Amino acid sequence: MLTNISNVLRACAQRNGAASVVSARTYADFTAEATFEIKKCDIHKLDEAPATQVVMTREEGLQYYRTMQTIRRMELKADQLYKQKIIRGFCHLYDGQEACAVGIEAGINLTDHLITAYRAHGYTYTRGGTVKEIMAELTGRRGGIAKGKGGSMHMYTKHFYGGNGIVGAQVPLGAGVALACKYLGNNELCVSLYGDGAANQGQIFESYNMAALWKLPAIFICENNRYGMGTSVERAAASTDYYKRGDFIPGLRVDGMDVLCVREATKFAADHCRSGKGPMLMELQTYRYHGHSMSDPGVSYRTREEIQEVRGKSDPISMLKDRMLSNNMASVEELKEIDVAVRKEIEDAAQFATTDPEPPLEELCNHIFYNNPALEVRGTNPWAKLKSVS
Amino acid sequence: MAAAARFFIRGAPFKLPVSGVGTGAQSSFEATLLKLSPNSNSRTKTQRRHAAHFTFQPDPVPTQYGPTQKMNLFQSVTSALDNTLASDPTAVIFGEDVAFGGVFRCTVGLRDKYGKDRVFNTPLCEQGIVGFGIGAAVAGATAIAEIQFADYIYPAFDQIVNEAAKYRYRSGNLFDCGNLTIRAPWGCVGHGSLYHSQSPEAFFAHCPGIKVVIPRSPVQAKGLLLACIADQNPCIFFEPKILYRAAVEQVPVEPYTIPLSQAEILQEGSDVTLVAWGTQIHVMREVANMAQEKLGVSCELIDLQTILPWDTETVCKSVVKTGRLLISHEAPITGGFAAEISSTVQEECFLNLEAPIKDDQLLNPRQGPSSGSPGLHHLSFSSSFIQSVERGQEKTLC
Q: Which DSSP string do the residues of B329-360 spell out, in sequence order?
A: ESS-STT-HHHHHHHHHHHHHGGG-SS--EEE
DSSP state of A47: S
Q: Note whether A153 and A130 are same-domain residues.
A: yes
Which of A98-112, A128-142, B1-15, B199-213 is predicted least confidently? B1-15
Of A153-162, B73-82, B189-198, the one with minimum mean pLDDT is B189-198
What local confidence, expressed as pLDDT, does residue A336 receive?
Answer: 97
Give a yes or no: residue A234 inside a domain: yes
Q: Are residues B186 and B289 in the same domain?
A: no
DSSP structure class, residue B87: H
Counting the structural domains of chain B, the total is 2
Measure the CA–CA gap between B326 and A297, rounded to whole angstroms: 44
Q: Which residues contact A179 (CB under 8 A, 6 or more apart)?
A: A214, A216
Please report residues of B whose CB lies closer than 8 A to that of A388.
368
Assess if residue A274 is contained within a domain: yes
Q: Where are the beta strands (DSSP E) in chain B?
A: 68-72, 91-95, 119-121, 142-146, 180-186, 211-213, 235-240, 248-252, 264-267, 272-276, 299-303, 306-308, 325-329, 358-361
A251 is a domain residue: yes
**Do B113 and B238 belong to one domain?**
yes
Within 8 A by CB and 6+ apart from B216, the residues are B240, B243, B277, B278, B279, B281, B282, B303, B305
Whether residue A342 is contained in a domain is answered as yes
Q: What is the model's pLDDT at position B29?
A: 34
Report the chain B residue with the minimal C-alpha distance to residue A385: B38
Same domain membership, residue A370 and residue A262 = no
Burial of B237 (0-12, 13-18, 19+ CB in 10 A): buried
Short-list B254, B171, B342, B394, CA closest to A382? B394
Q: Is B42 on the interface with A (CB under 8 A)?
A: yes
Q: Which of A228, A365, A384 has its CB closest to that of B124?
A: A228
Same domain, yes or no: B127 and B237: yes
- pLDDT grade, residue B21 (50/70/90)? very low
Distance CA B125, CA B96 (A): 9
Cβ within 8 Å, pair A165-B371: no
Q: Hey, is the C-beta of B381 within 8 angstroms of any chain A C-beta?
A: yes
* Domain limits for position A383: 362-389
Question: Does B126 participate in catalysis according to the annotation?
Answer: yes
Return the CATH number at A257.
Answer: 3.40.50.970
Beta-carbon count within 10 A of B189 CB: 20
Cβ proximity of A381 and B381 under 8 Å = yes
Q: Identify the pLDDT of residue A3.
A: 54
Q: Are residues B139 and B183 in the same domain?
A: yes
Complex ipTM: 0.80
pLDDT in the model for residue B339: 94
Q: Does residue A137 form part of some domain?
A: yes
- Whether residues B240 and B321 share a domain: the answer is no
- Kindly state whether B363 is in contact with chain A, defined as any CB-CB distance less than 8 angstroms: yes
Q: Is the same domain home to B242 and B309?
A: no
Domain residues for the domain of B290 are: 264-364
Q: Residue B281 maps to which CATH number?
A: 3.40.50.920
| Arithmetic mean of pLDDT, B315-325 | 96
pLDDT over 60 (residue B261)? yes
Residues in chain B: 398
**Cβ neighbours around B140 below 10 Å, total:** 9
A 129-188 residues with CB < 8 A to B: 140, 146, 148-154, 165-168
Query: Pick from B47, B96, B195: which is nearest to A166 by CB?
Result: B195
Residue B215 lies in a domain: yes
Check B126, B146, B201, B249 and give the catalytic one: B126
What is the pLDDT, as a whole number, of residue A315? 97
In a domain, A139, yes or no: yes
For residue B14, is it within any domain?
A: no
More confident residue, B172 or B391: B172
Specify whether B247 is located in the same domain as B271. no
Q: How far is A59 from A55, CA to CA, in rounded Å?
A: 12
Full pLDDT tens readout for chain A, 390 residues: 555 555 555 554 444 444 444 445 566 689 999 999 999 999 999 999 999 999 999 999 999 999 999 999 999 999 999 999 999 989 999 999 999 999 999 999 999 999 999 999 999 999 999 999 999 999 999 999 999 999 999 999 999 998 999 999 999 999 999 999 999 999 999 999 999 999 999 999 999 999 999 999 999 999 999 999 999 999 999 999 999 999 999 999 999 999 999 999 999 999 999 999 999 999 999 999 999 999 999 999 999 999 999 999 999 999 999 999 999 999 999 999 999 999 999 999 999 999 999 999 888 888 888 877 888 887 666 677 788 888
Among partner residues B152, B194, B365, which is closest to A379 by beta-carbon distance?
B365
Residue of A nearest to B194 (CA): A165
**Helices marked H in A51-169 — which ranges?**
58-83, 98-107, 121-126, 131-138
Q: Which of A25-39, B191-205, B209-223 has the lowest mean pLDDT?
A: A25-39
Contact pairs from chain A to chain B, CB under 8 Å: 132
Q: Do A197 and B123 touch (CB under 8 A)?
A: yes
Listed residue (B246, B283, B279) closest to B380, CA to CA: B283
Ramachandran quadrant class, A168 (left: phi over 0; alpha: psi -120 to 50; beta: rest): left
A8-57: pLDDT as tens digits: 555 544 444 444 444 455 666 899 999 999 999 999 999 999 999 999 99
Are residues B346 and B248 both part of a single domain? no
pLDDT at A389: 84
| Nearest-angstrom CA–CA distance, A225 and A228 | 8
Question: Looking at the structure, do residues A250 and A379 belong to the same domain, yes or no?
Answer: no
- Are both A300 and A385 inside the same structural domain? no
Q: Is residue B75 part of a domain?
A: yes
Q: What local confidence, expressed as pLDDT, does residue B218 receive?
A: 97
